[in-house]
Amino acid sequence: MSFQAYIDNIKSKTGKTPAEFRTLAETKGFVVDGALNPTVKVGEIIAWLKADFALGHGHAMVIVATFKGKTS
């Protein structure tokens, strides 16, 4: 599956775009000043995305990749 297909599936399932996830992650302290908070482990973000949005591991990793700047 392509990166964009993952993004499309996530948006279809949750109604949220990567930008909306970034905003939510900022409110939780996972993203600070546009970058991943170095004190937060990726596993914490994955657990949050799985628990709050019922994303699978691969889909959650794609959202984390967008936090790291990946766009395609």
Asked if the model's pLDDT at residue 28 lies above 90, the reply is yes
Asked if the model's pLDDT at residue 34 lies above 90, the reply is no
In a domain, 72, yes or no: no
Contacts of 16 (CB under 8 A, 6+ apart): 10, 24, 53
State pTM to two decimals: 0.92
Q: Which domain holds residue 49?
A: 3-67
Taking alpha carbons only, the member of 16, 53, 13, 47 closest to residue 30 is 47
| Cα separation, 69 vs 36, whole angstroms | 10
pLDDT of residue 72: 78
Structural domains in the chain (count)? 1
| Cα separation, 31 vs 50, whole angstroms | 17
> Average pLDDT of 1-20?
95
> Residues 49, 52, 53, 57: is their CA dihedral positive or negative?
positive
pLDDT tens-digit map of 38-60: 999 999 999 999 999 999 999 99
